[in-house]
Chain A
Amino acid sequence: MAAINRDDVAHLARLAHIEMSPDELDRMAGELAVIVDAVKSVSEAAGDDVPATSHPIPLTNIFREDVVGHTFTAEEALSGAPDAHEKRFKVPAILDED
């Protein structure tokens, strides 16, 4: 299995929307390489015949009665928002202007 390097970390940080300084990338790449090395034996533990478990105690079809319950007012829903306008979350432009 390939080791994780600085370029990988830079790419992953972009995917995860976390800006990182060059110093932080250096440090993170070193630390993650150690961790990835320590966990890699996991890929050799189980054969193809072993099914995956995603959930320790599986429950299926969890439905409730279709009745109207409490919902937040716009004010409640927006109470923790960094910015709001006319009962909506206000955000900077989605796309670059140019």
Chain B
Amino acid sequence: MTEYNTTGTSASELIRNSAAQLAEKLAAREVSAVEVTQAHLDRIAAVDGGDRGVHAFLHVNTEEALAVAAEVDNIRAAGGAAAEELHALAGVPIAVKDLIVTVGQPTTAGSKILEGWHSPYDATVVKKLRAAKMPILGKTNLDEFAMGSSTEHSAFGPTRNPWDLDRIPGGSGGGSAAAVAAFEAPLALGTDTGGSIRQPGAVTGTVGVKPTYGGVSRYGAIAMASSLDQIGPVSRTVLDSALLHQVIGGHDPFDSTSLPDPLADLVAAACIGNIEGMKIGIVKELHGEGYQAGVENRFNESLELLKQAGAEIVEVSCPNFKYALGAYYLIMPSEASSNLAKFDGVRYGLRVLPEDAPMTIERVMGATRAAGFGDEVKRRIILGTYALSAGYYDAYYGSAQKVRTLIQRDFEAAFAKADVLVSPTAPTTAFKLGEKLDDPLAMYLNDVATIPANMAGVPGLSLPGGLADEDGLPVGIQLLAPAREDARLYRVGAVLESLLEAKWGGPILASAPSLTELVTTPGGSR
């Protein structure tokens, strides 16, 4: 094992570095990739397991991650062309949401129906991580098939919010957000169908980006709602998300919805450092009533900072956004009911035999899906089957698709007046585990501000906007840009982030609990 660590940085300091900082230290050979990867694996062992652990990971990929790290160290040590050609993020470890398929590690989608299943192929984004030689630390927890806003619908138990272990880390990508917030990984991949990257980012004080629909290949992401799903980056800084977006983005012939456009220089956009003269729109319908006071306060504070930085704040109205949540809960279940039909106990995963005769394939499917799917997945399959059924199709699915057109028109009108739109990411801070589990509709309302972007395919970024006064929990600020203009999110996001950090005297996660109590708790490591 190569050990440099010329600066004497301890493992606990090492994990607090951003991906960009780690990349710099690796390139300068101040630390080795094995040291960086081991430091994160040690952190996972210390805080992720046990009854009160964060439980961000469903699978830890120790051996392979260390092997990739050692390979990077060997290439760097040998020097020459191979070392020159290493990707800037080579040796920077990453966690992958367990909805994205990986060779050599199980992929469960958070469901019993896929427990123990291994994909015979890698998702395109995973291939790209491997090409960049980024060690994959493991697979992160999620609501089953990405259906939920709290990670409580995982068949393998909930993830806990590192800010308060009795609260939800958001969902569906609560595992990826919590892993990054708890310094178990500097970077992670998520998927966002109605807010599953951005809302967990908001409630854990991290950054999450839903790229333009088609901007990142979905090949190998287990589909929930194909016209809404999008893979994107999860990180602690805006620059880190740009760096990761640059790795995973671009056209993929294996995804017929992948945009043919060349990828913009998003890292350069994050480094512009100036938003003077940009028009930033406040969406009248995405704040105010229904939003927690502390969320609203932090939102107003960010507006003030954007104004001070020279942006012009304009008010825009998107009157059809009020129909977005309803239309989403028709389109998403409709597509999900169709996408999940493939889990039938024939080709992969679980097969359950009915208790009595006749033993036909139809009855095996019924028994398998009854035992393999959790409540939320069943609810959405039934709802989708209903919305698509003869006699209801026009009233439900057809109407919802028309609403989609109205939402796109609202965005077009708004972006005629503003370069970027801004809103709170979620109406509230993290709620308590169990609080909304018996009230599906209350859970759905948490996605009210994030859903419009998925309906229109436009990109969105959530970054930490500070802590709510009443509960001391993180608040997310959402930026939205027109389709294919993801670069604007990074430009504005990085400026707002630096102004906020100047105000706080450092990153918001510096004030998160250290989780040291987990390290000393018996059973605190797996």
Contact = CB atoms under 8 A, between A and B. Distances in A.
A82 interface: yes
Interface string A1-42: 100100011001111111110001000100110111011111
B102 to A, nearest CB: 13
Given A39-B329, A56-B456, A64-B253, A31 B351 contact: no
A45 B348 contact: no
B401 A56 contact: no
Given A35-B441, A92-B359, A17 B403 contact: no
A68 B51 CA distance: 51
A46 B405 contact: yes
B311 to A, nearest CB: 27
Nearest to A14: B366
A57 B405 contact: no
B256 A59 contact: yes
A18 B403 contact: no
Interface string A75-98: 011011111000001011111111
Nearest to A40: B326
Contact of B402 (A14, A46, A81): A46
Contacts of B119: 80
A57 B211 CA distance: 13
Contacts of B348: 80-82
A17 B345 CA distance: 11
Contacts of A98: 358
Given A4-B386, A19-B366, A42 B120 contact: no
B345 A96 contact: no
B344 interface: yes
Contacts of A96: 358, 360
B231 to A, nearest CB: 15
Nearest to B331: A54
B contacts with A: majority SS: helix
B31 interface: no
Nearest to B455: A56
B360 A45 contact: no
A65 B144 CA distance: 37
B259 interface: yes
B483 interface: yes
Contacts of B260: 59
A89 B347 contact: yes
Interface string B339-351: 0010011111111
Given A45-B323, A54-B227, A57-B212, A81 B359 contact: no
A20 B511 CA distance: 47
Interface residues of B, number: 77
Contacts of A51: 402, 405
A55 B257 contact: yes
Given A35-B329, A52-B401, A28 B378 contact: yes
Nearest to B260: A59
A54 B405 CA distance: 9
B480 to A, nearest CB: 13
B243 interface: no
Contacts of B370: 18-20
Contacts of B399: 42-43, 45-46
Interface in B393-418: 395-396, 398-406, 408
B347 A46 contact: no
Contacts of A42: 323, 326-327, 330, 396, 399-400, 403
Contact of A95 (B117, B351, B360): B360
A24 B369 CA distance: 14
A82 B402 contact: no
B256 A32 contact: no
B386 A12 contact: yes
19 contacts: A1-B392, A9-B382, A12-B385, A14-B366, A18-B369, A20-B370, A31-B379, A32-B386, A35-B441, A36-B383, A42-B323, A42-B403, A43-B399, A45-B320, A53-B405, A55-B227, A56-B458, A82-B348, A82-B349
9 pairs of A and B residues whose beta carbons are closest in the complex: A56-B457, A82-B351, A52-B401, A46-B402, A80-B348, A39-B326, A53-B404, A19-B370, A19-B366
Interface of B: 117-121, 212-214, 227-228, 253, 256-257, 259-260, 320, 323, 325-327, 329-330, 337, 341, 344-351, 353-354, 358-367, 369-370, 373, 378-379, 381-383, 385-386, 389, 392, 395-396, 398-406, 408, 440-441, 444, 454-458, 483
Given A15-B389, A19-B363, A92-B359, 17 more contacts: A9-B382, A12-B386, A39-B396, A40-B326, A42-B323, A42-B326, A45-B327, A45-B402, A45-B406, A53-B402, A56-B457, A59-B256, A80-B118, A80-B349, A81-B346, A81-B347, A97-B358
Interface of A: 1, 4, 8-9, 12-20, 24, 28, 31-32, 34-36, 38-43, 45-46, 50-57, 59, 62, 64, 72, 76-77, 79-83, 89, 91-98
